[in-house]
Amino acid sequence: KDLTTDLKENLSHHFKEVMVGLMYPPASYDAHELWHALKGIDTEEKCLIDILASRSNMEIFQMKEAYLMQYNTDLQQDIDSETSGHFRDTLMNLAQGTRMEGYADPSTAAQDAMILWEACQQKTGEHKNMLQMILCNRSHQQLWMVFQEFQNISGQDIVDAINECYDGYFQELLVAIVLCIRDKPSYFAYRLYNAIHDFGFHNKTVIRILIARSEIDLMNIRQRYKERYGKSLFHDIKHFASGHYESALLAICAGDTEDY
């Protein structure tokens, strides 16, 4: 017998989603979530943002392989057909998994920062392309310097500038890239808090983040959550979920003694 099939047949609702989700290897789970985000009744842009803005080159490569094997179709082709505009172009760039790694050049950081500043002022199609090319392809170390130079040039934080100059999912994706480069656990703590408090417990988002990060950085996410929002993640899940579903989420979250 196949355990996953039995779980699907014998469980229901959100509890089933959690238990079945835990059966997937990480790359296969990402592929599964992306497929449903792209091919569902409505495209789930926030799911695409959470996954593609936060994964490493290797994670993206493995995810694309899993996507092809599971669904017999190419992830980038599906992104191309199901999304549009500069949001699509940025997702396509991220899905290439070609970000430079471990390389930083202080001499070009100010130049990149100036391009970003101009892109926030002029907002032409060409400037938007340059903006997303820098954010999607420069190494994390390089972008740390670029963000500092941007602050020096403009007197403004890069996130505030993007929020002022752009809107929609393109803006959300750009901000997510910046936040993940700065501190990925803080980004996911912020997304969990919003999903729990701003959307009346958005189950899909909570489940996806807890499962996807459970063996990577969930301990750090929990720490950032408590530091930033005062209450523990464990406490907030316990307050909003119930039954076997609550028990499953709390088991993944594995709260500290003072959280119980």
- Is position 27 within any domain? yes
Tens digit of each residue's pLDDT (9 = 90 or more) over 88-147? 999 999 999 999 998 888 889 999 999 999 988 887 778 888 999 999 999 999 999 999
The tens-digit pLDDT sequence of the chain (260 residues) is 789 888 888 888 999 999 999 999 999 999 999 999 999 888 899 999 999 999 999 999 999 999 999 999 999 999 999 999 999 999 999 999 999 998 888 889 999 999 999 988 887 778 888 999 999 999 999 999 999 999 999 999 999 999 998 989 999 999 999 999 999 999 999 999 999 998 778 999 999 999 999 989 999 999 999 999 999 999 999 888 889 999 999 999 876 555 54
Total domains in the fold of the chain:
3
pTM for the full model? Answer: 0.93
Q: Are residues 133 and 65 part of one domain?
A: no
- Is position 259 within any domain? no
Buried b (16+ CB within 10 A) or exposed e, 200-218: ebbbbbbbbbbbbbbeeeb
66: nearest Cα among 105, 116, 24, 96: 24
- Is position 110 within any domain? yes
Question: Domain residues for 203?
Answer: 183-252
Q: Is 155 left (phi over 0), alpha (psi -120 to 50) or beta?
A: left
CATH code where residue 74 lies: 1.10.220.10
Buried b (16+ CB within 10 A) or exposed e, 117-136: bebbeeeeeebbebbbbbbb
53: nearest Cα among 85, 9, 97: 97
Kindly give the interhelix angle for 125-137 and 140-154, rounded to the nearest 10 degrees: 130
Q: Are residues 167 and 210 part of one domain?
A: no
Q: Cβ contacts of residue 205 below 8 Å, gap of 6+?
A: 46, 47, 50, 191, 192, 194, 195, 199
Q: How far apart are CA 209 and CA 220, in angstroms?
A: 13
